[in-house]
Amino acid sequence: MNSTSPLQSPTYNFPVWGRGIFAVWYRNLLYFKYTLFSSFFIVIIEPLLIFLAIGYGLGFFIGDLDGTPYRSFFFPALVANASMFISFFEASYGSYAKLTQQRTFESILMTPIETSEIVLGEILWASSKGLMCSLVIAGVGAGLGLIESWLVLPSLLVVFLLCWSSASFGMLLASSATKYDIFIYAQCGLLIPLSLFSHTFFPITHYPETLQLIVFLFPLSHAVSAVRALLAGDIPAIIFLNLGVLFGYGFILSQWAVYKMSKRIYE
């Protein structure tokens, strides 16, 4: 049984990684098996269409960018962007539906699983889904000769950290949402601008210095820079800063999401 009364909001304790987290993750995996084809079709076809339109279409007119074919420059950013959006959607829309309509979290609380394990399990699942989809997209890129297949492996850590950050942000929004509109506002007001300005379509060195400093604060900017370098076979010194920033965002947002969602569940 849970030690916290359902009539009383829990005080915050630092989450402990227990078996319950992986039980929640595995529950989502079992359900995902039934929607595997439709899920992958939706989340993979769209990025590939974007790549064909921009990488090959616009890339034909741009040619090389800093000595790199434009489609090779754009593809790593597409992998990072796709993982961010997929993780966010899964953690925000999915968690809100489980909280309000499906009452899934209430059912799970009838087991020995704690609220913090539910939240972290959902974040872990959303991150895993984003990672899996980005891995498939990267595999397509390797098949097209855009990247070396073995270079995908070291970039997975960067992608997972980005997925964890975006999933934690989605869970944080779900913890305070009263309707689905808030996720649309977050997508249009934050995620899409992040995608447009975070080193995705062109180098940020073309921005004014003030805007470069602002973009440098974006987690997606660090992820794109790191993934692009790793898929090119480089390990620049700044990549450790990129990893540190992504880890920091993920750590803070996930702890905040655990606290807020735990309170919401017990309301």
Mean pLDDT by 10 residues, the chain (267 residues): 44 63 92 80 80 83 79 90 94 93 89 91 95 89 82 90 97 93 93 89 84 90 93 89 96 94 84
DSSP label of 8 = S
Q: What pLDDT shows up at residue 60?
A: 76
Q: What pLDDT shows up at residue 1?
A: 39
- List pLDDT tens digits, range 27-53: 999 988 888 777 777 777 888 888 888
Q: Collapse the DSSP code of 68 into the 3-class scheme (helix H, G, I; strand E, B; otherwise coil) and give the result.
A: strand
Strands 64-65 and 68-69, sheet pairing: antiparallel
Q: What pLDDT shows up at residue 117?
A: 92
Q: What pLDDT shows up at residue 17?
A: 66
Alpha-carbon span 238 to 205, nearest angstrom: 15
Q: What pLDDT shows up at residue 227?
A: 93
Tokens 């279409």 — which residue?
A: 57
Q: What pLDDT shows up at residue 170?
A: 96
Alpha-carbon span 183 to 92, nearest angstrom: 7
- Please give the structure tokens belonging to residue 227: 């993934």
Q: What pLDDT shows up at residue 82?
A: 92
Alpha-carbon span 149 to 126, nearest angstrom: 24
C-alpha separations of 176 from 14, 33, 130, 221 in Å: 20, 29, 23, 27
DSSP label of 212 = H
Alpha helices in the chain, H assignment, sequence order: 19-32, 36-50, 59-62, 70-89, 95-100, 104-108, 115-143, 152-176, 181-186, 192-197, 209-216, 219-231, 239-265
- Please give the structure tokens belonging to residue 95: 């968690």
> For residues 70 and 79, is the Cβ–Cβ distance under 8 A?
no
Domain residue ranges in the chain: 19-265
Residues contacting 75, CB < 8 A, separation 6+: 51, 55, 141, 146, 147, 231
Q: What pLDDT shows up at residue 14?
A: 53
> For residues 116 and 262, is the Cβ–Cβ distance under 8 A?
yes
Q: What pLDDT shows up at residue 8?
A: 46
Tokens 């920033």 — which residue?
A: 245
> For residues 205 and 127, is the Cβ–Cβ distance under 8 A?
no
